[in-house]
Structures are given as structure tokens and as C-alpha cells.
Structure 1
Amino acid sequence: MSSLRRLHFRRVPSKAVIIFGSLFHKPLASTPSYSSLSSSEEPPLQSDSTKLILADEELTQINLLIPRLCDSSQLATAVNLTTTALLANPPLKSLSLSVFIDSLASQPDMTHAMSLLTRLKFTPTSYPYIRPIIIMLVTSYFNKYKYKEALKVFNWMERPDSPCSPDEKIYGIFIHGICKNGLVLEGLKVLRAMVGANMVPNCDLKECVYRGLLKQARINEAKELNDAFGCVNGEGMKKILLLLERLIVQWKD
């Protein structure tokens, strides 16, 4: 397990140190505390320049340990272990993340979820994992009817310094999840961002927004938007964007 021994963990609770020690056959040294950094500005994970490779045995032990950490409410340590394991660039499907993501989405606040995203943000080698992890996290939030939390993840992706901007699939997940649960105004805002990024929603997505407006008894707005989507050339996209901005500004409950 020499590859994982070369990875540096941030401080972890004493019980977790024992678990890690038994897993890697040696005590783990803590890195500096970085107390001067805010919770939203965590330092990057660090590794030796030597290429890291996880053996099948190591992946098995990690997959066994992460659920145990979640069950024992040691999510901060689970975040550390997951992001550290990702430094070795394993196939994402080789890590059993479903329990971990579900535990993050089940928390009463987003402290650990945002910690995960922040640590990935500051670790360029982990960028390929951000999008699929976000899809899993947001889907779990929607399944738990936690729409505000899902929208916070969307806002995180929309930041200028975000390493992962939304793509068509992610826009679709958000618009479907929001509009189908009656939050049509928020759905229009996400749709506006999508059109502003010069992405054309597919027929299923347009139908979702259309039906969402009808359920809100906004028949004229639904027809107007539906007609606008009939023309999706360059000028048509500009008109759709202006229409969405007007609908959002004029929205009244």
C-alpha cells in the first residue's frame, strides 16, 4: 500500500487515525492546520510527484471504510479519504460512493458537501470527477426534496472561479427537478442561464417548463415561451433570453 502511504491527510479525529493506521499499516502524520483559511477556501490536497496507483485490495478496503465512517458520523474524515483516494485517479465506478453521497445529502446542512466540492476545486487532478459527483449529489438532493440545497450547488457551479460549469445534462437535471416540484420561477432562472450559455433545451425540457407554467395558471406565459422556442437561430435565442428575463422580472406569486 505504498501509494496511499505517500498521500497527505489533513487532521482527522483520533478514532479515525486508528482506523487509517490499521488500513495503511502505519500511523498517519497530520498536515498543517491551515487555520487562517476560511471554510470555503481550503488548500489543495497534496501528493508526492510519483504517480499514485491504487491496488484492488486498497480500493476494497477504502470501499469498506467509507460506509463505516458515514455510519459513525465521521463525514469530515470520509471527505478526506474520498478526495485523497481520487488523487490516484482511479475509475470513479471503482469507488462505492452511493452511501457517501447519500449521507452528504441527508445532513441538516451543507457543510460536508461544500467541503467536498471545495477540496476538489483546489485539486486540479480531481477535476474529471467533479461533474459526475455533482450529478450524484444533486440527484440525491432532489430525491430528498431538498431543492434549496440543490440550487446552492448550481450557484456554486455558476461562479466565475468554478472548475465545472453546467453542461446540457446538468441543466436538464436542475430544470426537471425544480419545475416538476412547482418551483417554476427558479426553473426559469436556470433555463435563462442555459440559454445564456447558448445551449438549446431539448423538446422534453421545453415541455417540462411549459407544463410547469400551465400548472401555475400562467397560460399566456407558457404559450409565449413555447412560441419563442419555435425559432432557435441566433436572433431567436436572443429573443428567448430577453423573454425569460422579462418573465422573471414580472413574476408575481
Structure 2
Amino acid sequence: MKSVQKPLHILSLASKSSITPRSFSTSTSAIDSITAPKPTNQTQTQSLTQEEHTKINLLLPRLCLLNHLDTATHLTITALLTNPPLKSLSLSILIHSFTSQSDMARPMSLLTRLRHNPPSHPYLTPISTMFIASYFKKNKPKEALKMFNWLVRPGSPCVLDERVCEVLVNGFCKNGMVLEALKVLRAMLSTNIVPGCGLKKWVYKVLLREARIKEAVELNEALGCVGDREKGDESECVKKVLALLDHMIGNWAE
């Protein structure tokens, strides 16, 4: 079994008035040894104090700005393994730094580490959503697609929610990736997530732009029944939409 060690030694660095590349080059190995989980006979999940949260949020931007991304990753994972509220950690600059890289190695390393720790599974979808939104902002829709495929792969512990689906559908529609948007729509309906009005409009409009008027009208009408109990049996409405989506996806021609 493994225990989570509080990153107190790392956090002490945050109290310094400045952090330089030289100061970190001499302490990286010590930081790595402290953040690495140590074997023990019992599972111990320690919580972070408010002071420690503050120090982490001060230190992460400095690490990212100095391009100490490995250390930033270790610190983030160590903090998340203590199961804090996700909103208590300022991860925006870390997400930005990771998605600015030429490959997806760092985001996937972080997510994979969390995947191997079941108590951290609730973080997977919201953190993936942050990565996906950042990739779209950087005009990297292919990376966003890879992240979606990772979320829904067989055996995945991730659970889709309305937020990540909205980000994906909106992003794919804006990038003209209609087939991918339809696949996300199908995935969310398969997990009983009711599409919002905004999402329905995005799909309808992008199909019209692709001159797929017949499909746009049929799908829009079918989606109108989903979530509206007055228009019939909910399960039958969903089945109808799924069948229509399967037909559209199966016959899609790029």
C-alpha cells in the first residue's frame, strides 16, 4: 500500500521572496524524493491545511514560469492525492503550460497517475475538461479529440458530465469537426445526459452550414423530445435519437 506524504519541504520554498533556476537545480532531487509515495502497512490520506493550499497556489505559478514542469507535476499530484476540493487549487497556469507543449505527454502522465488512485477518480473528468478547453483555445482540436477518446475508452473510470460534453461539442462545431461533435452527442445521450438548448442549437447550425438540411431538421426534432416528458416516453425518445445518430455517423462522408 502507499501513503501520501505532505509536500512540506516543497511548500517551504513558496515562502521565499523569489525562486531562481539555480535554487531549484540544487533541490530537485530532494523534492522528488519527498513527493514520491512511500510504502507503508496502511493507507494514509492526509489533508492539506489552508496554509498549505495557499503555499501550493503560490508555488505552482513560479514552477511553471521557470519551466520546472516535472516538479510542478509532482507537487500537483501530491496535493491531489490528499483529496482536496479541486477549486482550492489554482491549476490554470499548470493547464496552460501543459497544453502549450508540443505533445500530450505531461497531461496524460498527470491523468494516468490519478487514474491509478481510485479515490482521485472524481478529479479525472473536471481536470480533463480544463485540458480540453485549453486545447480548443490554442486551436488544437485534434488534441481535444484525443482527450475525449481517452475519457470514453473501454474500461475508463471517467464519467462524462454535461460540462465536458458542452465544451467538446461547442469546440468541435467551431472547428468544423461535425462528425466528432455528433459522436460526443451520442456519448452523452448514451450516459443519460440531456443536451441543453445551447448545445442543440450548435449542432443544428453546424449541420446547416454543412448543407445537411434534412439531417439537421430530423435531429433537431428528435432532440426536442429528449427531456420533455410531455412529448412522450423519455427512453423511447433517446432510442430514436441514438438510432438517428448511428445512421448519420455510419453514413458520414468527409
* In the alignment, structure 1 residue 231 sits paired with structure 2 residue 225: yes
Per the alignment, do residues 238 and 53 of structure 1 end up closer, same or farther by CA in structure 2, a change over 3 Å counting? closer
Per the alignment, do residues 50 and 17 of structure 1 end up closer, same or farther by CA in structure 2, a change over 3 Å counting? farther
Q: Identify the match of residue 27 of structure 2 among 12, 18, 21.
A: 18
1:205 CA drift (Å): 1.1
Aligned to 2:14: none
CA–CA distance in 2 between the matches of 1:94 and 1:145? 28
Maintained 8 Å contact 2:99/2:107? yes
1:75 CA drift (Å): 1.7
Aligned to 2:243: 242
Secondary structure of the corresponding residue to residue 225 of structure 2:
coil
Per the alignment, do residues 197 and 90 of structure 1 end up closer, same or farther by CA in structure 2, a change over 3 Å counting? closer
Maintained 8 Å contact 1:6/1:47? no
One-letter code aligned to 1:28: S
Instruction: Return 5+ residue gaps in structure 1 as ranges.
Output: 8-13, 32-44
Q: Identify the match of residue 166 of structure 1 among 160, 168, 179.
A: 160
Deviations 1:25-50 (A, max 9, x none): xx93686xxxxxxxxxxxxx567644
* In the alignment, structure 1 residue 118 sits paired with structure 2 residue 108: no
Deviations 1:79-133 (A, max 9, x none): 1110011122233232221110111111111000000100110112222322321
Secondary structure of the corresponding residue to residue 182 of structure 2:
helix
Aligned to 1:28: 33
One-letter code aligned to 1:239: K
Q: 1:200-219 residue pairs with structure 2 within 5 A?
A: 200-219=194-213
1:58 CA drift (Å): 2.9
Secondary structure of the corresponding residue to residue 28 of structure 1:
helix
Aligned to 2:231: none
Aligned to 2:121: 127
Aligned structure 1 segments of 4 or more residues deviating by more than 4 angstroms: 14-17, 45-48
Secondary structure of the corresponding residue to residue 160 of structure 2:
coil
Alignment identity in percent?
51
Per the alignment, do residues 51 and 247 of structure 1 end up closer, same or farther by CA in structure 2, a change over 3 Å counting? closer
1:141 CA drift (Å): 1.1
Per the alignment, do residues 47 and 64 of structure 1 end up closer, same or farther by CA in structure 2, a change over 3 Å counting? farther
RMSD: 2.7
1:19 CA drift (Å): 5.2
One-letter code aligned to 1:137: F
One-letter code aligned to 2:146: K
Maintained 8 Å contact 2:125/2:151? no
Secondary structure of the corresponding residue to residue 33 of structure 2:
coil
Maintained 8 Å contact 1:179/1:187? yes
Q: 1:1-253 residue pairs with structure 2 within 5 A?
A: 3-4=6-7, 15=24, 18=27, 21=30, 28=33, 49-232=43-226, 233-253=234-254
CA–CA distance in 2 between the matches of 1:91 and 1:199? 24
Secondary structure of the corresponding residue to residue 237 of structure 1:
helix
Per the alignment, do residues 51 and 206 of structure 1 end up closer, same or farther by CA in structure 2, a change over 3 Å counting? closer
CA–CA distance in 1 between the matches of 2:151 and 2:135? 16
Instruction: Return 5+ residue gaps in structure 2 as ranges.
Output: 11-22, 227-233
TM-score by length of 1: 0.80
Aligned to 2:230: none
One-letter code aligned to 1:113: P
Number of residues of Structure 1 aligned to a counterpart in Structure 2: 229
One-letter code aligned to 2:241: I
